Homo-oligomer: A and B are copies of this chain.
Amino acid sequence: MWLSIDPRSAKPVYQQVVDGVKEAVAKGLLGHGDRMPSVRELAAEMTINHNTVARAYQELERDHIIEVVRGHGTFIAASRPRPDHEDRVRELSGRIRELLIEAHHLQLTDQDLLNLFRSTAEEWHRERRRVQR
């Protein structure tokens, strides 16, 4: 299964579902046109409440990650440039800013953080390649 839920995490369960789907898509485990499990199927498989899954799907639809086709089911959407692209890049930049502050308090230099960035990216791509085989 491309999703795992930790009910003890501080991250809300619905957010874990949203992030899990986004991660699976980014890894290529789910791609354009793939059928998603129904809200109730996924809820049963993860042993979580179906309302929680429904909320996650709503969020994913708003983000154009999935598409709901009435009477047919839910599918992974085609990835395409988003109208609010600039806003999102700005938001990403804000999160990088937070990393810089956190790194400062961990007494990491920018170079340390850059190295951590590089090694995390490499690890991430290794993982991607592994799951796709």
Least Cβ–Cβ distance between A127 and chain B, in angstroms: 9
Do most interface residues of chain A lie in helix, strand or loop, or is the interface mixed? helix
Q: Give CA–CA (A117, B98) in the complex, Å.
A: 11
Asked if A19 and B98 make an inter-chain contact with CB atoms under 8 angstroms apart, the answer reads yes
Size of the A side of the interface (Cβ < 8 Å), in residues, is: 52
Asked if B70 and A104 make an inter-chain contact with CB atoms under 8 angstroms apart, the answer reads no
Asked if B117 and A114 make an inter-chain contact with CB atoms under 8 angstroms apart, the answer reads yes
Asked if B116 and A93 make an inter-chain contact with CB atoms under 8 angstroms apart, the answer reads yes
Number of copies: 4
A-B contact pairs, 10 of them (CB 8 A): A7-B72, A19-B98, A22-B105, A89-B116, A92-B103, A96-B99, A96-B116, A97-B124, A100-B124, A110-B121
Besides A8-B68, A92-B99, 16 new A-B residue pairs in contact (Cβ under 8 A), listed by A number = A7-B72, A8-B67, A22-B102, A26-B100, A63-B105, A81-B107, A83-B83, A83-B84, A83-B86, A92-B106, A92-B113, A93-B116, A96-B99, A96-B121, A100-B121, A113-B121
Residues of A that sit less than 8 Å from B by CB: 7-8, 12-13, 19, 22-23, 25-26, 63, 65, 67-70, 72, 79, 81-89, 92-93, 95-108, 110, 113-114, 116-117, 119-121, 124-125
